[in-house]
Amino acid sequence: MIGTIQHLLNSGDAFLTGTSFLVLLYLIVMIIIYGKMSKNEKHKKIWNILCVIPLTFSVIHLILFVCGDAFKYIISNYLNIYITSVLIALLPLLAKKNPLRIIGNILGIMVCLVFSVLSLENGKFADYTDKSMSDAYISLCGFLEENYVLSEWKKVDYEKLKADGLALIEEAEKTGDTDKYYDALYMLVDSFHDGHAGVIIDDAQSSYAMDKITSFGDYGLSLITLDNGDTIAVNAEEGLAIKDGDVITKWNGVPVDEAIDNVSLPITAGTLENERVQKTFYLAGVGGDTVNVTYINSEGTEAVATLNRIEGNMPRAASDFGILTSSKNEEYDYRMLSDNIGYLRVVEESTDNLSDMIGYITGNHTTAREMYREDLRELRTQGMKKLVIDIRNNAGGFDEVATALTSLFTKEQMYAFSLGVKNDKEMKSVTDRYVKGDGEFSDLEILVLTGMRCGSAGDGLTLYLSRLPNVTVAGLTDPEGINQETGGIVYMPEKAIVFFPTGLVLDENGNPNIDIDHTRKSRNPVDIKISLDKESALKIFSGEDYELEWAMEYLNKME
């Protein structure tokens, strides 16, 4: 537990956490010294004044800092300090020696203690909304270099990013074109290739984020590259000259492989391999009012079709990419797929806030383990001997939930990961996390379905399950490649918000757990890449759950 607190202190806002516990200590001291000071009227008046001091500072803090764009963050994170200050100011009303005073003091201390512990969850925070765009950008680069936990791991060149970004921002400041400023922010964060880092434009009047998507068109089809290297059309509109399954050889006169490489994605991707999959989809949205597509039709003849942009449509690439990467079932679920194959759909690694926090601090998430145990026992009574665990499009959560589930499938205690701290760019483990080795369902043969939209604690679940001899992990792609803890947030001018991970999660070698480095190669690959030929691609885009069918077929072949 001490290591966890050390990790949280290192990952979060030290001022906020320190102030939370300082105000709690102030409350306790004021309760203790009341007995001595209340015997003298003069001293009692001094005590009454002392009780109001924290509230006075809280009001001043509220006035000074809750006027900018970051007011929601400040109020939510300093709320425990404000409440504790109010409780201290109310102490004179509870000063009589009676049960009300005793009960009030005890409850007050307990409430404030809970608030103070919860303050440990707060990440690192900065507010640059009062600066110019260029000054804020310079401050942001410095803040990220110091606090983004993967700066060294990914070899981020902040000096180059600073220079390139300022060139765009100077143009924005001269012309008033804030889109150039937003371009700089996205360029900076996208260079991390980290799904836990990003930019939010918190302005209902700004269309910048939507424009990044709608700059891509819809020409009536999507594209996907098969295992043999062919790029084919899928989900083509009825009446289009190009049909589903036709091989695309050129896009606007450019060889299709080269055209895919040249696509600039609206949202950053992780591994190079997963990025290419995403680029293929978005190539189908690159063009002007029309686009010329060279293809080989079903008769083996090469032809050129001129496709018109469909006005008013969201890019087909965005929705069709979701078809490839998501599960057909986006709710937690458990059921039988056949007489002997069970199915467990895990959409996130979380249960309830209190249980998740206890599991995180202790490293042992009993609530999650028992929840999964109960559901798996029900499947066993229905004849389950094999199991599909579906974690495609998993939103993440707490790795302690992932290790709790994994523990049900092995009798051995296994190292999972460690929480770390980072000081002077050096990473150090402070507490280890283990798969406990419960083993009630270790006799099952298990097939795990994952993919490129499975990240964070979902990425962790993929890794921990993959270490078990009775588990096979499969997917059309590798998982996303992210596992560090979120928590950093920077408020920037023009209602821009930058977020990034600040909590360090390490592997057994003391390196960041799972996250890709500057080479952008997967460090958490699947055991088996599910084959993708023309037939299977057409199945996927006709609405069939090809991956789940593949998983059942795989398990049925196992004795």
Distance CA 55, CA 88 (A): 8
Quote the tokens at residue 492: 């920037």
- Per-residue model confidence (pLDDT) at position 40: 81
> Average of pLDDT values for 395-412?
96
The answer, yes or no, to whether residue 35 has pLDDT greater than 80, is: no
* pLDDT tier, 123 (very low <50, low <70, confident <90, very high otherwise): confident
Specify the higher pLDDT residue, 140 or 122.
140
Residue 296 gets the label, from left (phi > 0), alpha (psi -120 to 50) or beta, of: beta
- 77 contacts 125 by C-beta, under 8 angstroms: yes
Q: Which of 171, 206, 241 is the last residue of a domain?
A: 206
Q: Could you tell me the residue range of the domain that residue 248 belongs to?
A: 222-324
Q: Which of 178, 206, 234 is the last residue of a domain?
A: 206
- Per-residue model confidence (pLDDT) at position 113: 64
Cα dist from 112 to 57, 85, 117, 139, whole Å: 17, 10, 9, 34
Is 414 domain-assigned? yes
Q: Which of these ranges, 125-139, 160-174, 310-324, 412-426, has the smallest mean pLDDT? A: 310-324
Question: Is 384 found in the same domain as 428?
Answer: yes
The answer, yes or no, to whether residue 120 has pLDDT greater than 60, is: no
Question: Is 346 found in the same domain as 294?
Answer: no
The C-alpha torsion from 463 through 469 and 471 to 473, rounded to 10°, is: 50
Question: Is 457 found in the same domain as 344?
Answer: yes
The CATH number of whichever domain residue 311 belongs to comes to: 2.30.42.10
Question: Is 531 found in the same domain as 391?
Answer: yes
The answer, yes or no, to whether residue 253 has pLDDT greater than 80, is: yes
Is 518 domain-assigned? no
Distance CA 216, CA 207 (A): 14
Q: Which of 267, 290, 324 is the last residue of a domain?
A: 324
CB atoms within 10 A of CB 110: 10
Distance CA 509, CA 512 (A): 9
- How large is the angle between the packed helices 399-407 and 457-466, nearest 10 degrees? 30
Is 506 domain-assigned? no
Quote the tokens at residue 556: 């049925």
Cα dist from 183 to 112, 134, 188, 212, 223, whole Å: 43, 13, 9, 10, 27
The pLDDT tens digits for 192-235 are 999 999 999 987 677 887 888 888 999 999 999 999 999 999 99
The pLDDT tens digits for 36-92 are 777 788 888 888 889 899 889 888 887 776 666 666 667 767 777 888 888 888 877
Question: Is 338 found in the same domain as 302?
Answer: no
Is 415 domain-assigned? yes
Is 214 domain-assigned? no
Give me the sheet containing 445-449, strands edge to edge. 333-336, 341-345, 386-390, 445-449, 471-475, 528-529
Question: Is 228 found in the same domain as 202?
Answer: no
- Per-residue model confidence (pLDDT) at position 470: 95
Query: What is the separation of C-alpha 300 from the centre of its chain, rounded to a whole number of angstroms?
Result: 45
Question: Is 199 found in the same domain as 136?
Answer: yes
Is 232 domain-assigned? yes
Question: Is 297 found in the same domain as 333?
Answer: no
The answer, yes or no, to whether residue 365 has pLDDT greater than 60, is: yes
Question: Is 177 found in the same domain as 116?
Answer: no
Number of separate domains in the chain: 4
Nearest CA among 129, 57, 60, 113 for reference residue 89: 57
Distance CA 175, CA 167 (A): 13
- Per-residue model confidence (pLDDT) at position 116: 59
- Per-residue model confidence (pLDDT) at position 97: 59
* pLDDT tier, 189 (very low <50, low <70, confident <90, very high otherwise): very high
The answer, yes or no, to whether residue 103 has pLDDT greater than 70, is: no
- 429 contacts 510 by C-beta, under 8 angstroms: yes
Question: Is 111 found in the same domain as 15?
Answer: yes
Question: Is 345 found in the same domain as 313?
Answer: no
CB atoms within 10 A of CB 64: 10
Nearest CA among 464, 360, 484 for reference residue 422: 484
Q: Cα angle vertex 310, ends 308, 315, to 5°?
A: 115
